[in-house]
Every structure is written in structure tokens, then in C-alpha cells.
Amino acid sequence: MQPRGYWSDAIRRLRKRKLAMLCFWIVAMYAGLAAFIWIGDILVTHLDWKIPIVQWNEHVGPSYQKPAAQYEFVPEMKTESQKGWCLLGTDFMGQSTFRKTLYGAKTAMMVAFCASIISILIGVPLGALAGYYRGWVDDAIVWFYTTLGTIPYILLLMAFAVVLRGAHIGPWELRGSVSVYLAIGLTSWVGLCRLIRGEIIKRKESEYVLAARAMGCSDFRILFFHLLPNVFHIILINFSLRFVSFIHAEVILSFLGLGETDKPSWGAMIDAARTELARDVWWEMAAATVAIFIISLALNIFSDALRDCLDPKLRMD
């Protein structure tokens, strides 16, 4: 019997966990929805296509219409009423809460993904350089992330969001989701940097590293072609575990008015709905919070299972 490789064995054990696979497909559904709306947004903006889900700001019914299968809607400047579909009701402008919730998934997933990539691109190289070279390089990087880590995260995140909002990089203005994922990514790499630094310190004197040095490999090749591939599973686990925290950070910034303002987001929906609860308008708040709860629970369960399957120290089967 041919022995299984590391990744094939991890995937095999992950597929045996039914709950984890269910959560994986839930996350994949959110990601697919975000990709579909992102592509549809481009088609609507540049080609003027008519895609109902993407056209979240369309006036679809009366204000504060309760969730119902159908309702009577009399369009402006028309005398005939028409039936409409209103699964999650409408907001104060008569816009579909269902469409806004779906579009909010796109905002949250895109921000979390882009912020995760930025965090990895900063934290992994800095941690690898600090752990491999030590000396003054290690001292400088450790001093930098230690100083950054002493600032309360939420205050640092809000400060970056305020500074980046409306800033210009050359001819481009940072606005909307761009400033949000830059703020999250630029403030969330410290933990990953510290983790990678420790792993590189443990592995830099391994036999395969000593063999590569004996063969005359450069430091760049040893670092990026031998050491980092052996800690890639740690990067992947960290990515999955922190993804949900980035979604929460986007919701918090949007709730505080520092996030996406031109398009729907779950945080902005909660902020708009909190003043309407006294009027018994609960469906916008419920839609946003349930959407956040489902993706958060699915990501947490799947991330725990992924960690158990990829981390050799946690393997039990």
C-alpha cells in the first residue's frame, strides 16, 4: 500500500468529519455568493446589466413592509397595484432587506479575504526574516511589532480606518471597503509574525536546512523554498482562524460609521436597525445578525477541525 502524503492524509481525515464538511460547504456558499455579487457588481456598473440581487437599492415595496411571501405594492405614478415578493421585508426606503443582507455577505467576505492576504504578506516575511537572521534584524522587527502590539487593537484599528479613509495613493482615493481592509490588514499581522518567527527559530537548525547549506543554497532559497513551505500549514490554520475575526472587525467599523457607506454591509444594517426596534421593526437587525452568526459558527467549527487535521501534534487517528 502506497503511503499517503501529508496533505492527502489531512484531507482524508478532514472529510471524515461530517460537521466540519457541512460547515465547509456553508463557508463555500458564502464565498460563492460574494464572488457572484462582486462579478455582478462589475457587470451592473460597467455594462448596465439588470441583476436583481446586485441592485440592492431598487425601490421594491412600501417602507417597513414586514416579511411576507407577497404584498400589495402601488408603484409611484401608476394606478394599478402589483404583487411583490418580500421574504425579509423592506427598510425605511422600501429597499429589500434580503438583497441588502446578501450584498452584506459580499462586503464582509471580500474585506476579510483582502485583509487576511495583507496580514500574511506582512507578517510572514517579517517573522521569517527575524527568526532566520536573528541579531539586529530580529531586534528591530521584535521592537516594531512589540510597540505596535502594546496599543489596544480596537483603538489602533479605528485610528487606521480614520486616517486611511479618504486618503490618496497617487491618483486613487481610498474609500469604502478599500480603506477598511487596508486598516484591518495593516494592524493584524503582529500575532502571525510572532508565530512564524518562533517556528523558523525552531526549524532553522534542522537536518534538511543544514543539508541545504552544505549544498551551497542561498539564504533566500533556504528561507522561501525550504523553511516556509514546512510552516505553510500553520499559515493556513492561522488564516482560517482569523478570518472570522476580520469579518467581525468589518462589522464593527461599519457599525461605527468607519466602513462601507455607499453600499450595504451588515454593520451598517445593524446601526440603521437599532433605532427602529422601538417601532417593532426587527427584521433588518435579525437578518444581519443571523447572517453573521451562521458564517461565524461555520468558520469556527471548520477552523478547529482544520487545525486538528493539519497540526501533527493534535493528530489522534
- Number of folded domains that form the chain: 2
Instruction: For residue 297, tell me if it sits in a domain.
Output: yes
Instruction: For residue 1, tell me if it sits in a domain.
Output: no
User: What pLDDT sits at residue 177?
Assistant: 77
CA dist list (Å): 179 to 50, 149, 186? 28, 21, 10
User: Long-range pairs for 48-53 at CB < 8 Å and ≥24 separation?
Assistant: 52/99, 53/99, 53/102, 53/103
Residue linked to cell 489531512: 10
Q: 67 and 181: one domain? A: no
Q: 31 and 172: one domain? A: yes
The CA-CA-CA angle for residues 290, 62, 177, to 5°, reads: 45
Q: Are 287 and 101 in contact (CB under 8 A)?
A: yes
Q: 65 and 193: one domain? A: no
Q: 197 and 141: one domain? A: yes
Q: 178 and 202: one domain? A: yes
Which of 176, 303, 145 lies closest to 250, judged by CA?
176
DSSP one-letter code for 87: S
Q: Give me the DSSP letters along 92-151.
A: TTSBBHHHHHHHHHHHHHHHHHHHHHHHHHHHHHHHHHHHHH-HHHHHHHHHHHHHHHTS
Phi and psi at residue 152, to the nearest 5°: -50, 130
Instruction: For residue 200, tell me if it sits in a domain.
Output: yes
Query: What's the whole-model pTM score?
Result: 0.83
Q: Are 148 and 156 in contact (CB under 8 A)?
A: yes
Instruction: For residue 116, tell me if it sits in a domain.
Output: yes
Residues in CB range of 133: below 8 A, 6 or more apart: 219
For the domain that residue 216 is a member of, what is the CATH number?
1.10.3720.10
| Cell numbers found for residue 216 | 551551497
pLDDT in tens, the chain (317 residues): 456 666 787 788 888 889 999 999 999 999 998 888 888 777 766 666 666 666 666 666 677 777 765 554 445 444 444 444 567 777 777 778 888 888 889 889 989 999 999 999 999 999 999 998 888 999 999 999 998 888 888 888 888 888 887 776 766 767 777 888 888 888 889 989 999 999 999 888 888 888 888 888 888 888 888 888 888 888 888 888 889 999 998 898 888 888 777 788 898 888 888 888 777 888 888 889 999 999 999 999 998 888 888 876 655 55
Partner residues linked to 168 by β-bridges: 173
> How many C-alpha atoms does 283 have within 13 Å on its Cβ side?
19
> How many C-alpha atoms does 41 have within 13 Å on its Cβ side?
17
Instruction: For residue 169, tell me if it sits in a domain.
Output: yes
Q: 192 and 294: one domain? A: yes
Q: 45 and 130: one domain? A: yes
Q: 137 and 159: one domain? A: yes
Q: 12 and 74: one domain? A: no
Q: 66 and 160: one domain? A: no
DSSP one-letter code for 225: I
Structural domain boundaries, residue 79: 61-94
